[in-house]
């Protein structure tokens, strides 16, 4: 059972625990691999989008489909991934997912070299890379508490978020210029190589890991149902899931078209956009570094509400921009600076709270259930966003997505999370 103060640290204790993770060799290996992988993934995701827009001249509907192929696997296979992760050792899953993603992504520049690249290949590669990513993400989120302990989750997740933000600063800034210099398909090769490095780093982790031994005969359907019931029956997890459903639906609508708007409607070049996005990484890094201090001062509930509120308000700045002008560039920069930091604070607390209230034997399934709901909502939003972009225009669709994201804050504000100071001591009991 988790103590009430497990995630509430005093300043001196925070300093000791922060140093403790710096000298935690296996955490540092996992962290290093993840940082390199995130760096490559940011470059790769940006390059795939530019490949669709600039090389294959994708339409709004095709971009909606491409976004859907990234989200659909988690919706279709996430619950199965959660059940498998709770049965098996997590580290081999992490390594296998990294290697598989590297091989799949390498096929895109190969096809481009021979003049065979088509939008359908981007769909297929994105689909299967996403399947492996959902297995990796669920395994990682389940693996981290056993590696560093539940009392260090906010610090561990903050470090991962901070390094991801650093990768965003350099990765997104570099991605746009790499696309301009070497073409988008060739830039994707960097992402493939980053997964190889990540696999090696995870392989070097030496803490022994035991596979979970269930107290019943394995039954995939019953195990999946147990994970979903855990989310539905616990008031905190239920509120998080409801907020996530709403936020990701409108976020999927927004995300499917935002790059198209910046490239075609506003007319910004990839290098300029990459530089602007890198500024968002600085904001995310600042948010990650401030998460512990802000959470201790405001409480985890208020911190999450304000983080989601401010990041949603910032979304309105992009559809306000018109043309590749200095004013438009400043609006895009302001959105990155004012939105990415609060978003990082919100996400760190969300993951830490979910990990803290979920017992070891349910971590994989609860994480997968949350991803299932998140990706299902984002998938629906992406497809609808593509259709709405054609019917009412890209800019109007972005406004609708921003309004929906802002209203999603009400799910937290009207739930028990509102008054939560620290991660709850009430751990989810496994459903019978």
Domain coordinates in residue numbering, the chain: 13-205+220-419
Question: C-alpha angle with apex 168: 167 to 169, nearest 5 degrees?
Answer: 90
- For the segment 66-86, what is each residue's pLDDT rounded down to a tens digit? 877 887 776 777 777 777 777
Question: C-alpha angle with apex 172: 95 to 32, nearest 5 degrees?
Answer: 35
Q: Is 162 helix (H, G, I), strand (E, B) or coil?
A: helix
Residue 91 in tokens: 């580290």
Averaged pLDDT, 318-328: 88
Q: Tell me if 41 sits within 8 A of 192, measured CB to CB.
A: no
Averaged pLDDT, 325-353: 89
pLDDT at 169: 64
Distance, CA of 371 to CA of 71 (rounded, Å): 10
Q: Tell me if 263 sits within 8 A of 53, measured CB to CB.
A: yes
Closest CA to 345 of 286, 279, 277, 432: 286
Distance from the Cα of residue 86 to its chain's centroid: 21
Residue 219 in tokens: 């039954």
Q: In this structure, is the dihedral angle defined by the CA atoms of residues 263, 70, 347 and 240, taken in order, positive or negative?
A: positive
Number of Cα atoms under 13 Å in the Cβ half of residue 248: 22
pLDDT exceeds cutoff 60 at 11: no
Distance, CA of 425 to CA of 6 (rounded, Å): 8
Distance, CA of 227 to CA of 237 (rounded, Å): 11
Distance, CA of 261 to CA of 266 (rounded, Å): 6
Whether CATH 2.60.120.920 fits 13-205+220-419? no
- For the segment 32-71, what is each residue's pLDDT rounded down to a tens digit? 777 777 777 778 877 888 888 888 888 878 887 887 788 7
Distance from the Cα of residue 410 to its chain's centroid: 22
Distance, CA of 420 to CA of 250 (rounded, Å): 26
> Among residues of the chain, what percentage have pLDDT more than 90?
16
Closest CA to 304 of 356, 249, 342: 342
DSSP code for 359: -
């Amino acid at each position: 059972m988790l103590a009430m103060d497990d995630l509430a640290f005093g300043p001196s204790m925070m300093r000791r625990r922060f140093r403790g993770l710096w000298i935690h060799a296996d955490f540092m290996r996992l962290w290093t691999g993840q940082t390199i992988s995130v760096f490559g993934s940011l470059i790769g995701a940006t390059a795939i989008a530019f490949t669709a827009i600039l090389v294959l001249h994708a339409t709004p509907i095709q971009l909606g489909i491409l976004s859907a192929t990234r989200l659909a696997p988690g919706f279709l296979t996430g619950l199965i991934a959660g059940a498998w992760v709770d049965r098996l050792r997590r580290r081999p899953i992490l390594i296998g997912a990294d290697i598989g993603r590297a091989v799949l992504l390498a096929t895109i520049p190969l096809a481009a070299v021979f003049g065979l690249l088509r939008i359908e290949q981007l769909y297929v590669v994105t689909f299967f890379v996403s399947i492996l990513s959902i297995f990796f993400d669920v395994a990682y989120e389940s693996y981290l508490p056993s590696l560093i302990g539940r009392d260090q989750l906010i610090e561990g997740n903050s470090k991962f978020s901070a390094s991801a933000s650093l990768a965003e600063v350099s990765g997104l800034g570099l991605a746009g210029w790499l696309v301009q210099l070497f073409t988008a398909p060739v830039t994707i090769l960097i992402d493939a190589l980053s997964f190889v490095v990540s696999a090696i780093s995870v392989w070097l982790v030496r803490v022994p890991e035991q596979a979970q031994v269930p107290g019943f005969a394995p039954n995939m359907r019953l195990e999946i149902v147990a994970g979903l019931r855990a989310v539905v029956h616990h008031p905190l997890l239920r509120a998080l899931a409801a907020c996530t459903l709403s936020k990701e639906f409108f976020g999927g609508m927004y995300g499917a078209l935002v790059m198209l708007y910046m490239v075609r409607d506003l007319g910004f070049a990839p290098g300029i956009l990459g530089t602007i996005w890198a500024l968002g990484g600085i904001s995310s890094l600042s948010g990650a570094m401030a998460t512990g201090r802000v959470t201790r001062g405001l409480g985890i509930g208020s911190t999450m509400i304000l983080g989601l509120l401010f990041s949603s308000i910032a979304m309105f700045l992009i559809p306000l921009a018109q043309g590749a002008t200095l004013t438009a560039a400043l609006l895009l920069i302001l959105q990155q600076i004012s939105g990415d930091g609060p978003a990082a604070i919100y996400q760190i607390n969300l993951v830490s709270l979910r990990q803290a209230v979920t017992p070891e034997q349910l971590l994989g399934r609860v994480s997968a259930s949350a991803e299932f709901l998140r990706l299902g909502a984002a998938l629906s939003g992406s497809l609808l966003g593509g259709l709405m972009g054609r019917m009412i225009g890209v800019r109007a669709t972005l406004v609708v997505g921003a309004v929906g994201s802002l209203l999603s804050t009400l799910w937290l504000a009207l739930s028990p999370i509102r008054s939560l100071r620290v991660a709850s001591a009430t751990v989810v009991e496994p459903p019978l």
